[in-house]
Structure 1
Amino acid sequence: MLELISAARRRKRPPTHDLFDTVRMEFRVGLLDIDLNLQLNTGKYVKIMDRCRLEHAVVTGLLHRAIEARTSTVVANTEIAYIRELRPYQRFQVHTRLLGWDDKYSYYDQRFESQRKLHTHALHRLAHMYGGKTISPQAFQEMTGLNLSSPPLPEYVRDWKTLLQNKRRLTERDIDPERF
């Protein structure tokens, strides 16, 4: 909650980063952040990623533009790869960047790093909303006054999109509950 209040206060400051810049935040694993395996709890990862995407929106000026346009953004899909654990008191950084968008979603990449080693990697697919309805990234761009072109999405994002499309097709079929 304090992060939201802080972001709301800072949202009118001039941007310090461009929209496609990587925004880095530093953290330390606290004792209240760990699970039974004495490593960063998976739920805490999600909270940290939300906080870092909010910070990205603040320092790029995107939050101010979105609030002025009365738009919002929600996470549609997330894929997380846990590579190495983060232990109590371990310092780490989260690197957040907007990769681009297609005709329906915007894509973010977030990396948890400690001592120059990748510990966790996440991809997020976000949908933009206006008046309770989904709008295209292009409509979001127009409403917020950005009007930028998306760089080409990396191949790993295109592969992830294909996986999500295949999963959607699978869930749309009648699945025999006895199989699972």
Structure 2
Amino acid sequence: MYPIMRMVKELVKYRNSAPLPLTGTHVSEHRCWPSDIDLWLELNNGRTLTLFDLGRIPLARRNGLIDTLRKNRWGMTMAGASVRYRRRIRTFEKITMYSRAVYWDDKFVYLEQSMWKQNGECANQALYRAAITGKDGIVSPSTVMAAMERQEATPEAPAWVRNWIAADATRPWPPQKD
């Protein structure tokens, strides 16, 4: 089940937070609850992706994207993800999440998120490809920026992000069934 009450809590908690620039980092704290665990009593890998929503949506609100989406009747969807899991997060552990936009091109916005344990170790990191969508399909980031009345230049993509974009472009679609 989607953690709707946790999302509401995050939106209320950060409703008066300072606005962020488009590449600003939203920092939030979370806890791994029993409803988040798998059979091995640790944060489920799929739930990790859901919990990253708890960082992305407040980030989008703080940088002004949510208001622009509503005003233009646009949506935001994830168009790809790559996740690296390195440390287990156990039941009741507290984690700190960092969420930020790192790059955008003519179609997509690339978001980096990570979860950090209280001992300073990074438990996992995700790179997301997000698309803003309208009734006619994908809305270009330049159109979104204009609607937001923002003039920020596209940041240079880190090498690892460029490499992921290039590698993902070689992946066949649709995939083979056999």
Q: TM-score, normalised by structure 1?
A: 0.85
Range that drifts further, 69-78 or 101-110: 69-78
| Shift, 1:5, TM fit | 8.8
User: Residue 53 of structure 1 is aligned with which of 53, 56, 72?
Assistant: 56
- The equivalent of 2:80 in structure 1 is 77
User: Residue 166 of structure 1 is aligned with which of 170, 173, 176?
Assistant: 170
| Shift, 1:117, TM fit | 0.8
The aligned amino acid for 1:97 is R
Residues 1:117 and 2:149 are matched in the alignment: no
State how far apart, in whole Å, the 2-side matches of 1:147 and 1:67 are.
20
| Shift, 1:62, TM fit | 1.9
State how far apart, in whole Å, the 1-side matches of 2:145 and 2:167 are.
27
| Shift, 1:171, TM fit | 3.5
Residues 1:21 and 2:24 are matched in the alignment: yes
State how far apart, in whole Å, the 1-side matches of 2:96 and 2:162 are.
26
Work out which of the two has the higher radius of gyration on C-alpha atoms and give 1 or 2: 1
RMSD: 2.4
Deviations 1:91-118 (A, max 9, x none): 1111001102011110000011012111
State how far apart, in whole Å, the 1-side matches of 2:165 and 2:98 are.
22
State how far apart, in whole Å, the 2-side matches of 1:93 and 1:135 are.
32
Q: Across the two proteins, how many residue pairs are aligned to each other?
A: 173
| Shift, 1:147, TM fit | 2.9
Choose between structure 1 and 2: higher helix proportion: 1
Residues 1:95 and 2:98 are matched in the alignment: yes
State how far apart, in whole Å, the 2-side matches of 1:85 and 1:128 are.
32
